[in-house]
Amino acid sequence: MATAIVWFRQDLRLADNPALLAATYAARQMVPVFIWSPEEEGEWAPGGAARWWLHESLQRLDASLRERGSRLLLLRGPTLQALKSLLAATGATQLYWNCRYEPAALRVEAEVRQMLAASGRTGHGFQSSRLVEPGSVKGASGDCVQVFTPFARAFLAQANIDAPEGSPHEIPPPAKWPDSLGFADLALLPTSRWHDKLAQHWQPGETAARAVLKQFVQQHLADYGESRDRADLQSTSRLSPYLRHGELSPRQVWTAVVAALVRKGETEEEAPRGKFCSELIWREFATQQLVLHPALPDRARSGVFDAMQWRNEARELAAWTRGETGEEFVDAGMRELWQTGWMHNRVRMVVASYLVKNLLHDWRAGERWFWDTLVDADLASNAYNWQWVAGISPDAAPWFRIFNPQTQAEKFDPEGAYRRRFLTDSKRPLASLVDLKQSRQRALDAMKRASGR
């Protein structure tokens, strides 16, 4: 085989990239390509924060490819037409890619496979964005498990996670490069310059991802189980955006974490049962839920919520997005999100509960705000986590579990350090939008009406 195309998607790395490595072994010439086609993703095209990250990460991927004698070709969609044109221009007969699992991405991939078969070319799709193929973890009955705890048990019993592979030393270029767009042509950066804030807190790219993983394993993993909920401590991994964009593979993270725990004295069997590995398994479970239920981002799994009378008061929603609800823990979290493109996981649950249950706003309004402002916005995780906090999926926290932001602050920000960090411009306390006790009862009454009890 003379030439192969490597189609980069959400796998913006060279190490442990099975599509890239397979093409390296098989082809004499390779054309790495990224195709920007947000229209194909409909309402769930990448949001502003994710686009900024993508802009930065693509440039770093291109630099890494150039170090190995290659470069990254940039094209504009539709994906199918772009790949057809590229195959014709290069004479390539093989296409390599790593799979995605969002509904729109699966449709595109199916179209690509049909096109390749019709033209006599061969396609090679690989699983690399998750630890296992979604749907492969089965319960005792042979069906996919719909509840997390038994899913986690089955995952640990069934998953066989190989050690990650390295990166190719050389990537042979084609004899002639096809035309490519420039990074600016993709128009990924927000026109408001909002992304200037993000650049103060993050460094996208594979090299930075490895450094963040190393720092977490060395400095924070040992006490992660005890400290992970403390918003005032720098104890979380901050790996989620690197996993989201594929600058790290999940098995790179899994292997590094398990190896570190074994070095600290845990057994090979104990190490994967720790709290951090459980978070990675949660990510696997959310992805399986999206594959099994493609409407997950748009429709509650529990039908009772079709009858819920949401208030959806525009002034309250705007105050929530700006961090001006009058509840300091909520406001600090929302300002952290706006300033950094990220939010501590414990605080994500608190702000989501406040919006859905205290303010009685449709969970999808919060889901979409997170989608646009999170650098780690992943369709499966974002949708499933919002449904979990809202209590509207089969394996969710119950509706009556309503986080009190004041008691949550006392427990997880006991000295107020987190609140002071992100409420620096607050000249005076804001009046709370709602009374916590009264709004809690209002939420319980609304559920009774919706369920007909």
Residues taking part in catalysis: 279, 282, 310, 345, 363, 386
Q: Which two tokens stand for residue 368?
A: 């979409």
End-to-end Cα spacing for the chain: 67
402 sits in which H/E element? none
Query: What is the spatial distance between Cα 231 and Cα 209, in angstroms, rounded to a whole number?
Result: 22
**Among 228, 278, 446, 274, residue whose Cα is nearest residue 357:** 446
Q: How far is CA 35 from the centre of its chain?
A: 19
User: Exposure pattern of 331-368 as b/e (b: 16+ CB <10 Å)?
Assistant: bbbbbbbbbbbbbbebbbbbbbbbbbbbbbbbbbbbbb
Q: How many CA atoms lie within 13 A of 328 on its CB side?
A: 24
Query: What is the spatial distance between Cα 168 and Cα 69, in angstroms, rounded to a whole number?
Result: 11
Burial class for 286, CB neighbours closer than 10 Å (0-12, 13-18, 19+): buried
382 C-beta neighbours (distance < 10 Å), count: 25
Residue type at 284 in one-letter notation:
E
CA 39, 284, 113, 85 dihedral sign is positive
User: Exposure pattern of 436-449 as b/e (b: 16+ CB <10 Å)?
Assistant: beebbebbeebbee
CA 426, 347, 375, 234 dihedral sign is positive
Task: Supply φ then ψ for residue 253, to 5 degrees.
Answer: -70, -50
